[in-house]
Structure 1
Amino acid sequence: MKRIYVATATLGLTIITGSAAIAAPAASNAGRYDKAGQSETFAMPQNARTFVANASFYGGGPRRFEPNTHTASGERFNQWGLTAAHRTLPLGSKLLVTHRGRSVIVRVNDRGPAAWTGRSLDLSRGAATAIGLVHLGAGPVQVQVLTGS
């Protein structure tokens, strides 16, 4: 039953977001996001790309606490950092990730998730906590590529 709900929600968001992106021209290049209870406004690039992704989070497993665990970018993995893993976006890309009205800006510093998982974005535990995705484990998110595409 939960799989049907997630599939229906993902399909619905994809249709709604796709229709809105085609039909409505961008009136402004300003956006908002919440950071630790504070609201912040920032300028969005005119050529920003938006898509819906099925996201999960990673971190917290026993291997992630080993001292030599590094990401694809070469930096040490920090599960509480605001980072993400994506298979194709350039390392260093900044993404605005939104889930149920809560947004966070993350930096792509790792590769993954595996294609067979059915997900296209892995968030660090810190980023998933910021948007309320931890208790679900995985779910649909709207992603806007801010830099690096």
Structure 2
Amino acid sequence: MNTKLVRRTAIAVTAMGLLGLTGALVVPSANASQVSTLATCNATWYGAEGEIPEGWPTASGEPFSRWALKAAHNSLPFGTRVKVTYQGRSVTVTINDRGGFGGATCLDLTYGAFTQIANTDLGVIPVQYEILR
């Protein structure tokens, strides 16, 4: 990778941090035709036992399963695969639902997806996510 590009990316990330900004950051990969989108936000979970009936239609029409590796996001297209990381643990989920999020919360993981990376007792966790497409 171009060292000037690495320095510019590092400076941009540092400036974002100093300004308290979070959001999407496009990072060129080794192959110029592939681009990863990285972002940070808070993630929550849904699908406690009895909260939503199994098979209930999600916003995409796909049947809900609390154990499926799925997530809700306000704007990513249904079917988008997203790698979610919390404290070194990752899970790949597919966007199949929408949610009413406020503030810095942008992802609502199913119970099964959340348990792959954190204890549900935490409720809300800061995550980094990467759009895989």
TM category, shorter: 0.7 to 0.9
Kindly provide the CA deviation profile for residues 27-78 of structure 1, in whole angstroms up to 9, marking residues without a partner as x. Answer: x46xxxxxxxxxxxxxxx721211001100000253412x552101111100
**Aligned-partner residue type, residue 56 of structure 1:** T
Relative distance call for 1:94 and 1:87 in structure 2 (3 A) is same
Q: TM-score, normalised by structure 2?
A: 0.73
- CA, structure 1 residues 117+76, in 2 after alignment: closer, same or farther (shift >3 Å)? farther
Deviant stretches of 4+, over 6 Å: none
Aligned length: 114
In the alignment, the residues of structure 1 paired with residue 70 and residue 102 of structure 2 have an alpha-carbon distance, to the nearest angstrom, of 22
Higher helix share: 1
Gaps (5+ residues) in structure 1?
A: 1-13, 30-44
CA RMSD of aligned residues (A): 2.8
Distance 2:45 2:101 in 1: 15
1:107 maps onto 2:109 in alignment: no
**Counterpart residue identity of residue 47, structure 2:** G
Partner amino acid, structure 1, of 2:52: R
Sort the Cα spacing of 1:83 and 1:68 in 2 relative to 1 into closer, same or farther, 3 A.
Answer: closer
Match of 2:114, SS state, is helix
Instruction: State the percentage of identical aligned residues.
Output: 40
Q: Whose radius of gyration is greater, 1 or 2?
A: 2
Gap runs ≥5 in structure 2 = 1-15
CA distance in 1, matches of 2:28, 2:35: 12
The DSSP-based 3-state class of the residue aligned with 1:126 is helix
Structure-to-structure mapping, 1:44-63, within 5 angstroms: 46-63=34-51
